[in-house]
Amino acid sequence: METILVTGGAGYIGSHACKALKAAGYTPVTYDNLLTGWRDAVKFGPFEEGDLADRARLDEVFASHRPAGVMHFAALSQVGEAMAEPGRYWRGNVCASLTLIEAAVAAGCLDFVFSSTCATYGEHDNVVLDESTPQLPLNAYGASKRAIEDMLHDFEAAHGLRHVIFRYFNVAGADPEAEVGEFHRPETHLVPLLLDAVTGRRPALTIHGTDYDTPDGTCIRDYVHVSDLVDAHVLGLGWLEQGKGSRVFNLGTGSGFSVREMIDHAREVTGRAVPVMTGPRRGGDCTRLVSGSQRAEHELGWVPRRSDPGQMIADAWRWHQSGHYES
Protein backbone atom coordinates (compact mmCIF):
# COMPACT_ATOMS: atom_id res chain seq x y z
CA MET A 1 0.00 0.00 0.00
CA GLU A 2 1.67 3.21 -1.17
CA THR A 3 1.89 6.25 1.07
CA ILE A 4 1.00 9.74 -0.19
CA LEU A 5 1.99 12.90 1.66
CA VAL A 6 -0.98 15.28 1.72
CA THR A 7 -0.09 18.85 2.65
CA GLY A 8 -3.08 20.68 4.06
CA GLY A 9 -4.75 17.35 4.77
CA ALA A 10 -6.54 18.83 7.80
CA GLY A 11 -8.26 21.40 5.59
CA TYR A 12 -11.46 21.28 3.57
CA ILE A 13 -10.23 19.81 0.28
CA GLY A 14 -7.26 17.99 1.77
CA SER A 15 -9.38 16.02 4.23
CA HIS A 16 -11.70 14.89 1.44
CA ALA A 17 -8.64 13.92 -0.60
CA CYS A 18 -7.38 11.78 2.28
CA LYS A 19 -10.68 9.92 2.36
CA ALA A 20 -10.57 9.36 -1.41
CA LEU A 21 -6.97 8.16 -1.23
CA LYS A 22 -7.76 5.67 1.54
CA ALA A 23 -10.72 4.37 -0.48
CA ALA A 24 -8.40 3.91 -3.46
CA GLY A 25 -5.95 1.81 -1.42
CA TYR A 26 -3.35 4.41 -0.45
CA THR A 27 -2.16 5.51 2.98
CA PRO A 28 -2.58 9.30 3.20
CA VAL A 29 -0.22 11.06 5.61
CA THR A 30 -1.51 14.52 6.54
CA TYR A 31 1.11 17.26 6.94
CA ASP A 32 -0.51 20.40 8.34
CA ASN A 33 0.32 23.25 10.70
CA LEU A 34 -3.37 23.59 11.71
CA LEU A 35 -3.32 27.31 10.93
CA THR A 36 -6.49 26.97 8.87
CA GLY A 37 -7.09 23.23 9.11
CA TRP A 38 -8.63 21.39 12.03
CA ARG A 39 -7.36 18.29 13.79
CA ASP A 40 -10.74 16.53 13.85
CA ALA A 41 -10.68 16.32 10.05
CA VAL A 42 -7.69 13.95 10.10
CA LYS A 43 -9.50 10.60 10.10
CA PHE A 44 -8.06 8.52 7.30
CA GLY A 45 -4.35 8.14 7.99
CA PRO A 46 -1.41 9.34 10.10
CA PHE A 47 -1.01 12.99 11.08
CA GLU A 48 2.27 14.89 11.13
CA GLU A 49 2.07 18.44 12.43
CA GLY A 50 4.52 20.82 10.80
CA ASP A 51 4.99 23.91 8.71
CA LEU A 52 6.00 23.87 5.06
CA ALA A 53 8.69 26.43 5.80
CA ASP A 54 10.39 23.95 8.18
CA ARG A 55 12.77 22.00 5.94
CA ALA A 56 14.16 19.89 8.78
CA ARG A 57 10.65 18.78 9.76
CA LEU A 58 9.80 17.97 6.14
CA ASP A 59 12.98 15.93 5.75
CA GLU A 60 12.07 14.01 8.90
CA VAL A 61 8.57 13.23 7.61
CA PHE A 62 9.81 12.17 4.16
CA ALA A 63 12.41 9.89 5.79
CA SER A 64 9.89 8.40 8.22
CA HIS A 65 7.03 7.69 5.79
CA ARG A 66 8.85 7.40 2.44
CA PRO A 67 5.88 8.61 0.40
CA ALA A 68 5.54 7.62 -3.24
CA GLY A 69 3.97 10.98 -4.09
CA VAL A 70 2.81 14.34 -2.81
CA MET A 71 -0.59 16.03 -3.02
CA HIS A 72 -0.02 19.68 -2.24
CA PHE A 73 -3.12 21.54 -1.00
CA ALA A 74 -1.68 23.71 1.77
CA ALA A 75 -1.97 27.39 0.86
CA LEU A 76 -3.31 30.78 1.83
CA SER A 77 -6.30 31.35 -0.43
CA GLN A 78 -8.33 34.47 0.40
CA VAL A 79 -8.52 36.97 -2.44
CA GLY A 80 -9.23 40.00 -0.28
CA GLU A 81 -6.37 39.19 2.06
CA ALA A 82 -4.06 38.62 -0.92
CA MET A 83 -4.90 42.08 -2.21
CA ALA A 84 -4.13 43.67 1.16
CA GLU A 85 -1.13 41.54 2.18
CA PRO A 86 0.65 40.30 -0.95
CA GLY A 87 3.90 39.62 0.89
CA ARG A 88 2.17 37.08 3.10
CA TYR A 89 1.07 35.17 0.00
CA TRP A 90 4.46 35.20 -1.67
CA ARG A 91 6.07 33.91 1.52
CA GLY A 92 3.31 31.56 2.61
CA ASN A 93 2.59 30.04 -0.78
CA VAL A 94 5.65 30.41 -2.99
CA CYS A 95 8.53 30.20 -0.52
CA ALA A 96 6.86 27.41 1.43
CA SER A 97 6.14 25.43 -1.75
CA LEU A 98 9.76 25.81 -2.83
CA THR A 99 10.86 24.26 0.46
CA LEU A 100 8.40 21.38 -0.01
CA ILE A 101 9.47 20.75 -3.61
CA GLU A 102 13.15 20.75 -2.68
CA ALA A 103 12.48 18.31 0.16
CA ALA A 104 10.50 16.01 -2.14
CA VAL A 105 13.25 15.99 -4.75
CA ALA A 106 15.91 15.34 -2.10
CA ALA A 107 13.88 12.36 -0.87
CA GLY A 108 13.46 10.97 -4.39
CA CYS A 109 9.68 11.52 -4.23
CA LEU A 110 9.09 12.64 -7.82
CA ASP A 111 5.30 12.33 -8.35
CA PHE A 112 3.64 15.61 -7.42
CA VAL A 113 -0.03 16.59 -7.67
CA PHE A 114 -0.59 20.31 -7.20
CA SER A 115 -3.72 22.18 -6.21
CA SER A 116 -3.72 25.31 -8.38
CA THR A 117 -6.60 27.62 -9.23
CA CYS A 118 -8.58 29.33 -11.96
CA ALA A 119 -7.42 32.58 -10.32
CA THR A 120 -4.23 32.22 -12.38
CA TYR A 121 -6.30 33.18 -15.45
CA GLY A 122 -7.53 36.53 -14.18
CA GLU A 123 -10.33 38.37 -15.97
CA HIS A 124 -11.50 36.90 -19.28
CA ASP A 125 -15.13 37.88 -19.46
CA ASN A 126 -17.48 35.86 -21.65
CA VAL A 127 -14.77 33.28 -22.34
CA VAL A 128 -14.88 29.63 -21.30
CA LEU A 129 -11.47 29.11 -19.77
CA ASP A 130 -9.37 26.16 -20.92
CA GLU A 131 -5.81 25.17 -20.19
CA SER A 132 -4.46 27.33 -23.04
CA THR A 133 -6.11 30.55 -21.82
CA PRO A 134 -3.44 33.17 -20.96
CA GLN A 135 -2.66 33.37 -17.27
CA LEU A 136 -3.09 36.97 -16.14
CA PRO A 137 -3.81 36.82 -12.40
CA LEU A 138 -5.39 39.84 -10.72
CA ASN A 139 -4.04 39.30 -7.22
CA ALA A 140 -1.22 37.75 -5.21
CA TYR A 141 -3.18 34.56 -4.62
CA GLY A 142 -3.46 33.77 -8.33
CA ALA A 143 0.05 35.06 -9.00
CA SER A 144 1.55 32.90 -6.27
CA LYS A 145 -0.14 29.79 -7.65
CA ARG A 146 1.10 30.57 -11.15
CA ALA A 147 4.62 30.99 -9.77
CA ILE A 148 4.44 27.53 -8.16
CA GLU A 149 3.32 26.06 -11.49
CA ASP A 150 6.41 27.64 -13.09
CA MET A 151 8.53 26.23 -10.30
CA LEU A 152 7.26 22.72 -10.99
CA HIS A 153 8.15 23.02 -14.67
CA ASP A 154 11.68 24.11 -13.74
CA PHE A 155 12.14 21.25 -11.28
CA GLU A 156 10.95 18.78 -13.87
CA ALA A 157 13.56 20.03 -16.31
CA ALA A 158 16.33 19.93 -13.70
CA HIS A 159 15.36 16.95 -11.52
CA GLY A 160 12.67 14.92 -13.27
CA LEU A 161 9.85 16.01 -10.94
CA ARG A 162 6.70 14.68 -12.63
CA HIS A 163 3.61 16.71 -11.88
CA VAL A 164 -0.09 17.08 -12.51
CA ILE A 165 -1.50 20.57 -11.98
CA PHE A 166 -5.21 21.03 -11.34
CA ARG A 167 -6.63 24.50 -11.89
CA TYR A 168 -10.03 24.41 -10.35
CA PHE A 169 -12.96 26.62 -9.93
CA ASN A 170 -15.27 27.16 -6.95
CA VAL A 171 -15.29 24.06 -4.76
CA ALA A 172 -18.44 23.34 -2.76
CA GLY A 173 -20.35 20.54 -1.08
CA ALA A 174 -19.26 17.99 1.49
CA ASP A 175 -18.60 14.29 1.84
CA PRO A 176 -21.92 12.53 1.08
CA GLU A 177 -21.44 10.40 4.22
CA ALA A 178 -20.90 13.58 6.31
CA GLU A 179 -17.58 12.40 7.75
CA VAL A 180 -15.86 15.63 6.73
CA GLY A 181 -17.13 18.93 5.38
CA GLU A 182 -16.40 22.58 4.79
CA PHE A 183 -15.41 24.78 7.71
CA HIS A 184 -13.06 27.76 7.59
CA ARG A 185 -11.90 30.25 10.18
CA PRO A 186 -13.10 32.83 9.24
CA GLU A 187 -15.68 31.51 6.79
CA THR A 188 -15.51 33.12 3.35
CA HIS A 189 -16.97 30.53 0.95
CA LEU A 190 -20.43 31.03 -0.47
CA VAL A 191 -22.20 27.76 0.36
CA PRO A 192 -21.32 27.61 4.09
CA LEU A 193 -22.07 31.32 4.34
CA LEU A 194 -25.49 30.65 2.82
CA LEU A 195 -26.15 27.86 5.31
CA ASP A 196 -24.92 29.96 8.22
CA ALA A 197 -27.44 32.63 7.21
CA VAL A 198 -30.20 30.04 6.92
CA THR A 199 -29.53 28.67 10.42
CA GLY A 200 -28.99 32.05 12.07
CA ARG A 201 -25.28 31.53 12.76
CA ARG A 202 -24.85 34.85 10.99
CA PRO A 203 -27.49 37.55 10.52
CA ALA A 204 -27.43 37.50 6.71
CA LEU A 205 -25.44 36.62 3.62
CA THR A 206 -23.68 39.64 2.15
CA ILE A 207 -23.70 39.83 -1.64
CA HIS A 208 -20.50 41.60 -2.63
CA GLY A 209 -21.51 43.59 -5.71
CA THR A 210 -24.83 43.66 -7.50
CA ASP A 211 -23.78 45.73 -10.52
CA TYR A 212 -21.73 43.20 -12.48
CA ASP A 213 -22.44 42.71 -16.17
CA THR A 214 -24.46 39.54 -15.63
CA PRO A 215 -28.19 38.82 -15.98
CA ASP A 216 -28.89 39.48 -12.29
CA GLY A 217 -25.92 41.73 -11.49
CA THR A 218 -24.04 39.22 -9.32
CA CYS A 219 -20.85 37.30 -10.06
CA ILE A 220 -21.03 34.01 -11.94
CA ARG A 221 -18.90 31.06 -10.92
CA ASP A 222 -18.41 27.45 -11.97
CA TYR A 223 -18.98 25.21 -8.93
CA VAL A 224 -17.51 21.72 -8.59
CA HIS A 225 -18.34 19.25 -5.83
CA VAL A 226 -15.42 18.56 -3.51
CA SER A 227 -15.90 14.79 -3.88
CA ASP A 228 -15.69 15.07 -7.67
CA LEU A 229 -12.63 17.28 -7.31
CA VAL A 230 -10.67 14.86 -5.15
CA ASP A 231 -11.63 11.97 -7.41
CA ALA A 232 -9.76 13.85 -10.14
CA HIS A 233 -6.71 14.13 -7.88
CA VAL A 234 -6.63 10.37 -7.38
CA LEU A 235 -6.88 9.97 -11.16
CA GLY A 236 -4.04 12.45 -11.54
CA LEU A 237 -1.89 10.42 -9.20
CA GLY A 238 -2.66 7.34 -11.28
CA TRP A 239 -1.71 9.26 -14.41
CA LEU A 240 1.76 9.86 -12.97
CA GLU A 241 2.12 6.29 -11.71
CA GLN A 242 1.42 5.06 -15.23
CA GLY A 243 4.45 7.02 -16.43
CA LYS A 244 2.51 9.63 -18.37
CA GLY A 245 3.96 13.10 -18.74
CA SER A 246 3.36 16.17 -16.63
CA ARG A 247 0.02 17.76 -17.43
CA VAL A 248 -2.30 20.64 -16.54
CA PHE A 249 -6.04 20.06 -16.14
CA ASN A 250 -8.92 22.42 -15.46
CA LEU A 251 -11.60 21.09 -13.12
CA GLY A 252 -15.09 22.54 -13.44
CA THR A 253 -18.42 21.73 -15.01
CA GLY A 254 -18.58 24.26 -17.84
CA SER A 255 -21.70 25.80 -16.29
CA GLY A 256 -21.82 29.03 -14.35
CA PHE A 257 -24.24 30.07 -11.61
CA SER A 258 -24.68 33.52 -10.12
CA VAL A 259 -24.73 34.30 -6.42
CA ARG A 260 -28.47 34.92 -6.59
CA GLU A 261 -29.02 31.59 -8.35
CA MET A 262 -27.11 29.82 -5.57
CA ILE A 263 -29.29 31.59 -3.01
CA ASP A 264 -32.36 30.24 -4.80
CA HIS A 265 -30.94 26.70 -4.73
CA ALA A 266 -30.21 27.00 -1.00
CA ARG A 267 -33.77 28.11 -0.37
CA GLU A 268 -35.10 25.10 -2.29
CA VAL A 269 -32.82 22.58 -0.56
CA THR A 270 -33.33 23.82 3.00
CA GLY A 271 -36.93 24.95 2.70
CA ARG A 272 -35.94 28.10 4.57
CA ALA A 273 -35.51 31.76 3.72
CA VAL A 274 -31.99 33.06 3.16
CA PRO A 275 -31.50 36.49 4.78
CA VAL A 276 -29.52 38.69 2.39
CA MET A 277 -27.85 42.10 2.48
CA THR A 278 -25.84 43.80 -0.23
CA GLY A 279 -22.38 45.29 -0.06
CA PRO A 280 -19.75 46.75 -2.40
CA ARG A 281 -17.63 44.73 -4.77
CA ARG A 282 -14.50 43.10 -3.40
CA GLY A 283 -11.21 43.96 -5.02
CA GLY A 284 -9.82 41.19 -7.20
CA ASP A 285 -13.17 39.53 -7.94
CA CYS A 286 -13.86 38.64 -11.58
CA THR A 287 -17.28 38.95 -13.18
CA ARG A 288 -17.49 35.44 -14.60
CA LEU A 289 -15.30 32.36 -14.25
CA VAL A 290 -16.39 29.23 -16.10
CA SER A 291 -14.23 26.22 -16.92
CA GLY A 292 -13.63 24.19 -19.97
CA SER A 293 -12.72 20.76 -18.54
CA GLN A 294 -12.78 18.59 -21.64
CA ARG A 295 -9.13 17.65 -21.22
CA ALA A 296 -9.77 16.10 -17.80
CA GLU A 297 -12.73 14.22 -19.17
CA HIS A 298 -11.00 12.94 -22.29
CA GLU A 299 -7.56 12.18 -20.86
CA LEU A 300 -8.23 11.28 -17.20
CA GLY A 301 -11.71 9.89 -17.67
CA TRP A 302 -12.97 12.33 -15.04
CA VAL A 303 -16.73 12.84 -14.84
CA PRO A 304 -18.19 15.20 -12.19
CA ARG A 305 -21.15 13.25 -10.80
CA ARG A 306 -22.34 15.39 -7.88
CA SER A 307 -21.60 18.89 -9.16
CA ASP A 308 -25.05 20.34 -9.74
CA PRO A 309 -25.84 23.16 -7.29
CA GLY A 310 -28.75 21.40 -5.60
CA GLN A 311 -26.69 18.28 -4.85
CA MET A 312 -23.71 20.28 -3.59
CA ILE A 313 -25.87 22.34 -1.26
CA ALA A 314 -27.79 19.24 -0.09
CA ASP A 315 -24.56 17.44 0.83
CA ALA A 316 -23.22 20.55 2.56
CA TRP A 317 -26.52 20.97 4.41
CA ARG A 318 -26.40 17.37 5.66
CA TRP A 319 -22.91 17.89 7.07
CA HIS A 320 -23.83 21.34 8.40
CA GLN A 321 -26.60 19.75 10.46
CA SER A 322 -24.56 16.73 11.58
CA GLY A 323 -22.98 18.38 14.62
CA HIS A 324 -19.44 18.13 13.23
CA TYR A 325 -19.64 21.85 12.53
CA GLU A 326 -19.31 22.58 16.21
CA SER A 327 -16.12 20.55 16.72
Q: Is the pLDDT of residue 327 over 50?
A: no
Q: What is the pLDDT of residues 202-238, one digit of tens each?
A: 899 999 999 999 999 999 999 999 999 999 999 999 9
CA atoms within 13 A on the CB side of 250: 25
- What CATH code is carried by the domain that includes residue 284? 3.90.25.10
Q: What is the pLDDT of residues 36-79, one digit of tens each?
A: 888 999 999 999 999 999 999 999 999 999 999 999 999 987 77
Residues 240 and 314 in one domain: no
Q: Does residue 141 carry a catalytic annotation? A: yes
- Check residue 32 and give its pLDDT: 97
Among 31, 141, 168, 212, the one annotated catalytic: 141
* Phi, psi values for residue 290, rounded to 5°: -135, 140
Residues 41 and 87 in one domain: yes
Range of the domain at 108: 3-172+223-251
Residues 88 and 29 in one domain: yes
Query: In which band, very low, low, confident or very high, does the pLDDT at 187 lie, cut at 50, 70 and 90?
Result: confident
Residues 235 and 304 in one domain: no
**Average pLDDT in the 300-307 region?**
93
Q: At what angle do helices 96-106 and 140-159 cross, to 10 degrees?
A: 20
**Average pLDDT in the 10-38 region?**
95
Residue 181 domain-assigned?
A: no
Residue 285 domain-assigned?
A: yes
Q: Global pTM?
A: 0.93
Residues 82 and 15 in one domain: yes
Residues 23 and 151 in one domain: yes
- Check residue 325 and give its pLDDT: 46
- Check residue 292 and give its pLDDT: 77
- Complete edge-to-edge strand list for the sheet that includes strand 3-7: 47-49, 27-32, 3-7, 69-72, 111-117, 162-168, 247-251
Residues 11 and 33 in one domain: yes
